[in-house]
């Protein structure tokens, strides 16, 4: 510019352009004057996103909207059901999240209006956003399995959202007499935590073997294959011979209705009367996703994999279990990894920059017994707009690994839970 005269017109134009493109950057480093991001949902995805946004750019004013004062984590909650740990070990508050300078609004998000970019809370408060991050988790579909209503879940718990349902299933197992029959109904894909029903079967089998050895456990499955199947079935044969019966879809495993009064599960091939029935019903993205217009006809949310921006609504990003995320499973690790990628992308978008192409990892441990762990991992990148597992990477633990490795995997599983909950809530 030196030696050149800048005409008044040129200067005004460039100044206006600067003001438009970098208004966010030029503002003082006080959050209330920065861009506003509202995050709905305080689980592994939402709380991670809120914290990562503040770290990515402290000028972003972040509000985290969450209905519950206390978060109850699903990973490791199968251990609570089996009497191996207390529910309090699953519970976290938002004090440390708030200490990062995030406004934590303990309230329901009732509606989202994409046109005015506002979120209406249960208390009538209206939050304006420049970008919205929805991390609402799942809703159980009460319309998908005849007989299985919210009231029925008080008799035949799903325990697929950790908390009161987790404790209800545990109490039912404790009250069951030795020689009883436990039935788990597992849903078709996709659903939260693909290996979860089988980890649950394993740890309930551990409880039965040690406390009620004459009992039996049946898994009625709406699928012919499941996550870490060979590892689970090898371990069941080794640890719980004759205790667990897995009934696949093609062998009549799909539950088509339930009868609450008699705790009966009906399939096309017959009926199973249970002493304890754990019905894990089909699921969908939580209702606020539908209200915001980011869920498609499947009930889940399509996203662009670099930014996690909804393919259906601009300026709304969706994370975690609610998404259709290509090869990435609905896990806590995935939710946390997506949140950090999304937060970096949102910070860049708010500065008018282009987000870089990401890579994401998933790691998921399952406990077959307290000292017997198995895992699956994957590395993903966007290919033609879909998060795709990188060829030659990922997969499950070696099937022929020695028992010492399974013990080590259980130790790593415990370490993982402490690490991720520390990053998200600690």
Partner 1 sequence: MNATRMSAVVVVVLASIATAFAASEPPAGATSCSGCHPANAGVQSPVPPLAGKTAAEIVAQMQAFRAGQRSATVMDRIAKGFSDAEVQAIAAWYAQQH
Q: Is 146 in the site for partner 1 (CB under 8 A)?
A: no
**Nearest CB to partner 1, comparing residues 52 and 112:** 52
- The CB-of-42 to partner 1 minimum distance in angstroms stands at 18
Q: Is 9 in the site for partner 1 (CB under 8 A)?
A: no
What's the rounded Cα separation, in Å, for the pair 426 and 420? 9
- The CB-of-332 to partner 1 minimum distance in angstroms stands at 8
Q: The tokens of 13 are what?
A: 């134009």
**Nearest CB to partner 1, comparing residues 8 and 297:** 8
Residue 370-389 contact track with partner 1, rule CB under 8 A, x = bound: -----x-xxx-x--------
What's the rounded Cα separation, in Å, for the pair 200 and 206? 10
Residue 23-42 contact track with partner 1, rule CB under 8 A, x = bound: --xx----------------
- The CB-of-348 to partner 1 minimum distance in angstroms stands at 9
Q: Which residue stretch of 116-124, 158-166, 259-267, 403-411 sits at the interface with partner 1 (rule: CB under 8 A)?
A: 403-411
Q: Is 8 in the site for partner 1 (CB under 8 A)?
A: yes
- Determine if the peptide bond prior to 190 is cis (ω within 30°): yes
- The CB-of-161 to partner 1 minimum distance in angstroms stands at 22
Residues 6+ apart with CB under 8 A from 393: 378, 379
Residue 341-370 contact track with partner 1, rule CB under 8 A, x = bound: x--x------x-x--xxxxxx-x-------
CA 259 to chain centre: 29
Q: Is 22 in the site for partner 1 (CB under 8 A)?
A: yes
**Nearest CB to partner 1, comparing residues 70 and 414:** 414
CB atoms within 10 A of CB 412: 14
The terminus-to-terminus CA distance of the chain in angstroms comes to: 50
Q: Is 262 in the site for partner 1 (CB under 8 A)?
A: no
Q: Which residue stretch of 17-25, 66-74, 101-109, 274-282 sits at the interface with partner 1 (rule: CB under 8 A)?
A: 17-25
- The CB-of-357 to partner 1 minimum distance in angstroms stands at 6
List interacting residues with partner 1 (CB under 8 A): 1, 5-6, 8, 11, 14-15, 18, 22, 25-26, 52, 57, 333, 336-337, 340-341, 344, 351, 353, 356-361, 363, 375, 377-379, 381, 390, 392-395, 397, 405, 408-409, 411-412, 414-416, 418-420, 422-423, 426
């Amino acid at each position: 510019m030196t030696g050149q005269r800048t005409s008044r017109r040129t200067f005004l134009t460039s100044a206006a352009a600067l003001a438009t493109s970098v208004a966010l950057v030029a503002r003082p480093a006080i959050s209330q004057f920065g861009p506003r991001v509202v995050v709905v949902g305080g689980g592994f995805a939402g709380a991670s996103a809120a914290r990562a946004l503040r770290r990515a750019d402290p000028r972003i004013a972040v509000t985290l909207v969450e209905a519950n004062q206390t978060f109850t984590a699903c990973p490791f909650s199968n251990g609570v059901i089996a009497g191996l740990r207390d529910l309090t070990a699953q519970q976290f508050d938002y004090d440390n999240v708030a200490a990062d300078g995030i406004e934590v609004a303990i309230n329901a998000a009732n509606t989202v209006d994409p046109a005015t970019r506002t979120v209406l809370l249960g208390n009538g408060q209206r939050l304006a956003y420049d970008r919205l991050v929805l991390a609402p988790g799942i809703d159980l579909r009460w319309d998908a399995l005849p007989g299985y209503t919210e009231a029925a879940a008080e008799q035949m718990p799903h325990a697929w959202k950790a908390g009161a349902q987790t404790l209800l299933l545990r109490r039912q197992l404790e009250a069951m007499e030795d020689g009883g029959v436990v039935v788990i109904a597992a849903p078709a894909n996709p659903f939260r935590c693909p290996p979860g029903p089988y980890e649950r079967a394993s740890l309930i089998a551990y409880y039965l073997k040690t406390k009620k050895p004459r009992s039996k456990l049946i898994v009625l499955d709406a699928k012919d294959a499941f996550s870490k199947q060979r590892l689970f079935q090898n371990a069941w044969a080794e640890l719980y011979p004759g205790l667990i019966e897995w009934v696949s879809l093609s062998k009549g495993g799909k539950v088509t209705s339930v009868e609450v009064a008699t705790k009966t599960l009906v399939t096309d091939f017959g009926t199973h009367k249970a002493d304890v029935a754990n019905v894990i019903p089909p699921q969908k993205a939580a209702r606020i996703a539908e209200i915001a217009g980011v869920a498609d006809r499947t009930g889940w949310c399509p996203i662009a994999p670099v930014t996690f921006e909804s393919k259906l609504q601009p300026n709304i990003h969706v994370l975690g279990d609610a998404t259709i995320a290509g090869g990435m499973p609905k896990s806590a690790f995935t939710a946390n990894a997506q949140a950090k990628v999304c937060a970096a992308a949102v910070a860049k978008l708010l500065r008018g920059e282009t987000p870089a192409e990401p890579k994401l990892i998933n790691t998921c441990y399952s406990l077959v017994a307290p000292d017997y762990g198995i895992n699956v991992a994957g590395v993903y990148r966007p290919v033609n707009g879909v998060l795709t597992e990188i060829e030659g990477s990922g997969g499950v633990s070696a099937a022929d690994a020695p028992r010492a490795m399974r013990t080590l995997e259980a130790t790593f599983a415990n370490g993982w839970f402490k690490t991720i909950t520390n990053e998200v809530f600690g």
